[in-house]
Amino acid sequence: MSIGALIEQHGSPFYSMEFFPPKDRADWPAFLETVDRLRALNPLFASVTYGAGGSTQDNTLEITRRIAASGLPTMTHLTCVGANGASLREFLDKMREGGVHDVLALRGDLPRGKTQADWLNAEFRHAADLVRFVRREAPDMGVAVAGYPGPHPESPSLSSDRQFTLQKVQAGAEFVVTQLFFDVREYFDLVKYLRMHDVQVPVVPGILPVQSLESIRRVLSLCGANIPGKLYLELEAAHEKGGAEAVREVGLQFAVRQIRRLLDGGAPGIHLYTLNRAELCLRLAQEVKLS
């Protein structure tokens, strides 16, 4: 059963989570211990990412295999960058051999040294291209896509970004996992847009609890998400009064309120961007008291 089908059948709020496999294999035992600790949240599924340009793709596949073999449904990220038909077929075959049957289809980020002009010569330019390829070449695979509640940093407008999300689903995606965001209205606006266009697939909101001012600045610069001015001022004030620990507490309490509003508004579950850290996720779940 695909992860999309699991979501459809589950019928009650759930947690899922994203992991980033360490590059150094010496760090894998500690990483897998973190994954095991987070099983206390009874996650419905997990996703495993890799670096820009597929720089850790082999690690991603091996880690995904190990997590899936432990009984937790797991999907691997799959990006357009550097991909061609032959390499994708080989990767999908390796996935099957390892018992992995779901992908999160993404355009991906260009590696350093590449320019937007490189996309023009690429065999796969958009996530929708990947979705169509997987549907055609591996119809047994489950396929999810990403969605931006706010505009993608490269989109000319929010309207065009919504259209890209719609096209990815229409290409055959079973569900959407959103990029991180801080204004729940953006999530509900995205869902409303898709429903108005007769798209009924689940849209799972992605949540990243703020852990430090430095980390949130870095993340925002990469993904282009918007942060409410009030929240940012609260984080700065917390940092001045209590340092990093105070910032984490403000970030955690904001995420708790965010999750409650999302679930009360009908979100099917919550996808936690874990940053491979168990303690904060466990504390967050304890505060939310998911029923």
Question: Would you call 90 a catalytic residue per the annotation?
Answer: no
Lowest mean pLDDT among 105-119, 147-161, 195-209: 105-119
Which tokens hold the place of 165? Answer: 């999300």
Measured CA angle at 216 (ends 214, 220), to 5 deg? 120
Taking a C-beta distance cutoff of 8 angstroms, is the pair 47, 273 a contact?
A: no
pLDDT in tens, 250-275: 999 999 999 999 999 999 999 999 98
Closest CA to 168 of 140, 189, 185, 190: 190
Closest CA to 209 of 150, 267, 283, 158: 283
In this model, does residue 241 exceed pLDDT 80?
A: yes
Identified catalytic residue from 18, 174, 186, 234: 18
pLDDT in tens, 116-136: 656 666 678 789 999 999 999
For the chain, count helices (H), then strands (E): 11, 8
**Residue percentage of the chain with pLDDT more than 90:** 65
In this model, does residue 290 exceed pLDDT 60?
A: yes
Whole-structure pTM value: 0.92
d(CA 52, CA 64): 18
pLDDT at residue number 56:
66
Which tokens hold the place of 54? Answer: 């597929």
pLDDT at residue number 112:
62
Lowest mean pLDDT among 34-38, 111-115, 212-216, 252-256: 111-115
Average pLDDT over residues 232-250: 90
pLDDT at residue number 158:
81
Alpha-carbon radius of gyration of the chain: 18
pLDDT in tens, 49-95: 875 555 567 788 899 999 999 999 999 999 887 788 998 999 999 99
Selected residue with higher pLDDT from 201 and 217: 201
Lowest mean pLDDT among 1-5, 17-21, 150-154: 150-154
